[in-house]
Structure 1
Amino acid sequence: MSPDRVLDLLFWVAVISLVAVYVSWRATRLDRLHVRVETARAALDAALVRRAAVALELAASRLLDPATSLVLATAAHEARTADVDGREFAESDLSRALRAVVDQPDFRETLASRGDGTALLDELDAAAQKVSFARRFYNDAVSATRIARRKLLVRAIPLAGRAPVPDFFEIDDGPPRF
């Protein structure tokens, strides 16, 4: 074999190797992004469940009047038991119910005078903040994954496999003013 043919062969082997390494790197990155979305979704679900649990605890604490407790308990129960399609609406309803309950005038002072309500409100505030952070982190992960999936190489060679395109989780997660 002539030296020119050997060099041509080595050139094409190097080009194919570089392309294979690049495709492998893109596939691995896409896989890591999907894992990041799944992890962020699990953290978001945990934060939402914790917020609903604290809201149920507040509703059952006898620190609120019966009507307010019923509204808050119903919203928290709906948020915990909602199916996938209605989860965003149920969580938004819980956020609005929490704001309606907590944003009442002199609410914190009234709870403080009735016992250990301040500790429960602090726990509710922490849970509401975690929901906000977890939702932002999840939506950032979804955005990065969607951007990576729009690349030409990912679409030309289906590197995402059968993984579904992740959806954003949009809720009204404005925390109550404590």
Structure 2
Amino acid sequence: MDLVDLLFWLGLLFLAGTYVSWRAGRLDRLHARVDLAKAALDAALVRRAAVALELALSRLLDPATSLVLATAAHEARTADAESREFAESDLSRALRAVLEQPEFRATLEAKPNGLALLEELAATAQKTALARRFFNDAVSATRIARRRILARVLPLAGRAPLPEFFEIDDVPPDVQ
């Protein structure tokens, strides 16, 4: 083997190593993106539950409606990892059941601070839906990158667990 062949193989090895390093870095960045999106989703879910609980405790609603909403918000805030998706979906359904009652908006607008609380709840519900979409998009991109042959043959993801989607009923209530 002469010097030209040696340089060729060293160059090829360098390019292959650079590509593998780039793919590993990309996987690392995707996992970091999932972590950031999960933190944003958690913050949005906690904020939505807090605003729902604030509405339930505001004495703007009748006692039965307040109890239903407070229970759903409390369950969503205290749920463990296994039951969180169900608890958050229950909160979404409770919010829709409460806020989509006939004449609910007009009744709440007549009370002091009612409209502001209603608008804040609508905004947090919308932010929750967006945060879940961003999180699931990040999970999807990461899972696609981890399915590639190079990532499967070489342990480029290290010991990072495969991220899971977060599926909840997050259709925001219609408060118009």
TM-score, normalising length: structure 1: 0.97
Shift of 1:70: 0.4
Task: Tell me which stretches of 4 or more aligned residues in structure 1 moved more than 6 Å.
Answer: none
Which of 8, 11, 34 is the aligned partner of 2:8? 11
1:98-127 CA distance string (max 9 Å, x none): 000000001010011122100000000000
- Percent identity, aligned pairs only? 73
2:2 counterpart SS class: helix
- Alignment match of 2:128 (pick from 127, 131, 149): 131
Question: Which amino acid in the other structure matches residue 64 of structure 2?
Answer: A
- Name the count of aligned residue pairs: 175
- The counterpart of 1:41, out of the listed 31, 38, 43, is 38
Post-superposition CA distance 1:15-68 (Å, at most 9, x none): 000000000000000000000000000000000000000000000000000010
1:85 matched to 2:70: no
| Structure 1 counterpart of 2:144 | 147
Which residue of 2 is the match for residue 100 of structure 1? 97
Partner of 1:51: 48
Root-mean-square deviation (Å): 0.6
Q: Which runs of 5+ in 2 are unaligned?
A: none
Letter in 1 for 2:90: D
Identify which range, 80-89 or 106-115, moves more after superposition: 106-115
Any gaps of 5 or more consecutive residues in structure 1?
none
TM-score normalized by structure 2?
0.99
